[in-house]
Structure 1
Amino acid sequence: MDARLLRRLGHFLAVAEEGHFGRAATRLGMSQPPLTAQIQALEAELGVLLLERTRRGTRPTREGEALIPLARRLVEDAGKLQSLARELRSGRHAPVAIACVTSALFDHLPPLVRALRDARPEAAVTVREMDTADAMEALRRGEVDLALLRLDGDRPPLRVLALGEDELVAAFPQGHPLLDLPEPLPISALADTPLLTLPRAISPAYFDALVAACREAGFEPRGLSEVGSSMAQLSFVASGLGVALVSSGMARIHPPGLAFRRLRGPIRAVAVALAWNEDRETESARSALLLAREAFRLS
């Protein structure tokens, strides 16, 4: 709706409620002649007489009375729209979109979502499970505001804050012979075991950590088979198709049919990190980032 029409409707309502042009002008912070001109312009635009003068002041005509309820709703809704727009600009009500790798779904996502919802109960929070590579692209395109992923440092314009330490553990199908060895297992025990891994394109930090750990133990990973997701990796292990080195966060999910063993070292994995795109920092993203820092006690 035209802003001038809304403004004139507000002027009309003020006169109708005050019953006097002079009092309405004072309430609106304007002089009476411009107010009279605004009412006349509104009547000309609508094609009906809205107000009539009496000995006691001014009152709405029958047509004016009929228009008052709708005019009031329009003006109130316009005020609510402007108020919501201000809230959205401040980030208080703006929706927040989060990308999250599977291994962060249980340890890191819940406290982040709780912090956002407690601070901004009116704002919608959406979560998209995706691998690190897709999460990075979603951040670059502005499709999400924050991401929980595995990244070992900034990738401008992406900024990251590591959320503590993490390590790789070995996932075995139940009944695997290596489960009889005492913990922690030397990673060299896996030298002749087919390993299931995520492609480097999906999670380069994880893939590089796995290969580096094997080489440091004196062997090249044998029979590497790539799977499309962390959950598929665990499913394939449970099916007896191989063994996998997974983050300790994935081990805490502990699906049936699997057994996990700590590795000697321990072997560090790239920790889950909080990431954002500094080139796409909207008020909503900045507000969410501040709450995330508080939730994870980050400086």
Structure 2
Amino acid sequence: MINFRILRHMWLFLAVAEEKHFGRAAKRLGMTQPPLTQQIQVLESSLKIQLFDRSRKGVQLTPAGQAILPAVKKFAGQVERLDLAIREAIAGQTGIITVGAISTAMLDVLPAYLEKMKKAVPELTISVKEIDSAEAIPLLQSGDIDLAFARLTGALGNDIASLPLASDNLVVALPHDHFLAGKNSVALDALSNEKWVMFARHVSPVFYDSITAACHNRGFSPRIIHEVRSVASQIAFVSCGQGIALVPSKLERLSPANIVTLPLDKNIKVITTAVAWSSARNNPAVDMFIEVIKQP
């Protein structure tokens, strides 16, 4: 039997886990600290485990707290989605879809498609959440999202359909005082001894593999010093003098004044965004969204 009292306390646990401070969590929840502390103690007593280590340095999750945090986050997201669907239904809305998108897609291709979709179906509610490319397929398969805008290519698994949307040539992002900064273009093998800032493979396997394969074809393996989750993070690390990075040319506009971006002497073209969806699920709103995307 579901213990709804424990479920209610999970929101309190999540707030403290994310804020790492009882006072800030209480403020976020619109309550005072003593009742929050008491309710967390009640939750720990009910579960018969300690969730937090409390010290003068702050609040940290125990191993048990860390173990349940991902499931609590997922549950909270599903409940929020259910709540939104109920409220929209009461308001007379005809449907809701959840779009998962990588940050670069949200900056580049997604806004135009959202605008077209809202014009085509103004009564449809579209919820957008940020994801990593590696999360796209599992989230589609679980039904947590209806559409994914991510770096995807090739066979994506049974019942997953996809459509490439955008590709781009990579450029080299260098500190402005780098010895190569004055060049018109850069050969890839000229970067063999550099410190690289790269997407972590688990975040964007396609992006990672395409770059490492190009390097191997030029006779070297990139010296990856920092692994990050976004192009913005790549550029930020380069700006701090932590290495060089290959980034899509369309996003070089994100570069601050102390970064120089140069083309490669031989282009490396990558798919920067594809849209994917589950063909096993019958969702007319998703079908309509794909038709909107296909329109010229």
TM-score range, shorter chain: 0.5 to 0.7
1:116 Cα shift? 1.0
Tell me which of 182, 186, 204 is aligned to 2:184: 182
Tell me which of 158, 168, 171 is aligned to 1:169: 171
2:294 equivalent in structure 1 = 293
Decide whether aligned partners of structure 1 residues 253 and 104 sit closer, same or farther in structure 2, where only a CA change above 3 A counts: farther
Correspondence 1:118-267 to 2 at 5 A: 118-155=119-156, 156-183=158-185, 185-267=186-268
Normalising by the residue count of structure 2, what TM-score does the alignment of the two structures yield?
0.64
2:99 equivalent in structure 1 = 98
2:79 equivalent in structure 1 = none
Report the residue type matching 2:149 in the other structure: L
Report the residue type matching 1:106 in the other structure: L
Task: State whether residues 198 and 224 of structure 2, in contact with CA within 8 Å, keep that contact through their aligned partners in structure 1.
Answer: no
**Partner deviation per Cα, 1:254-296 (whole Å, 9 max, x = no partner):** 34543211112211223411111111231222222222222xx
Decide whether aligned partners of structure 1 residues 248 and 104 sit closer, same or farther in structure 2, where only a CA change above 3 A counts: farther
Separation in structure 2 between the aligned mates of residue 137 and residue 234 of structure 1, nearest angstrom: 28
1:173 Cα shift? 2.4
Secondary structure of the residue aligned to 1:121 is coil
| Higher Rg | 1
Decide whether aligned partners of structure 1 residues 149 and 281 sit closer, same or farther in structure 2, where only a CA change above 3 A counts: farther
Bigger relative CO (Cα 8 Å, ≥ 6 apart) = 1
Separation in structure 2 between the aligned mates of residue 242 and residue 126 of structure 1, nearest angstrom: 36
Decide whether aligned partners of structure 1 residues 165 and 229 sit closer, same or farther in structure 2, where only a CA change above 3 A counts: closer
Report the residue type matching 2:183 in the other structure: L
Q: Count residues with an aligned counterpart.
A: 207
Separation in structure 2 between the aligned mates of residue 178 and residue 246 of structure 1, nearest angstrom: 16
Separation in structure 2 between the aligned mates of residue 190 and residue 228 of structure 1, nearest angstrom: 21
Secondary structure of the residue aligned to 2:271 is coil
Name the structure with the higher strand share.
2
Q: Which runs of 5+ in 2 are unaligned?
A: 1-85
Separation in structure 1 between the aligned mates of residue 180 and residue 101 of structure 2, nearest angstrom: 32
Secondary structure of the residue aligned to 1:237 is helix
**Partner deviation per Cα, 1:65-100 (whole Å, 9 max, x = no partner):** xxxxxxxxxxxxxxxx9xx79x97xxxx31222111
**Partner deviation per Cα, 1:200-243 (whole Å, 9 max, x = no partner):** 11111001111011112221112442123332222111111011
Decide whether aligned partners of structure 1 residues 246 and 281 sit closer, same or farther in structure 2, where only a CA change above 3 A counts: farther
Decide whether aligned partners of structure 1 residues 208 and 108 sit closer, same or farther in structure 2, where only a CA change above 3 A counts: same
1:188 Cα shift? 1.3
Report the residue type matching 2:197 in the other structure: L
Q: CA RMSD in A?
A: 2.2
1:116 equivalent in structure 2 = 117
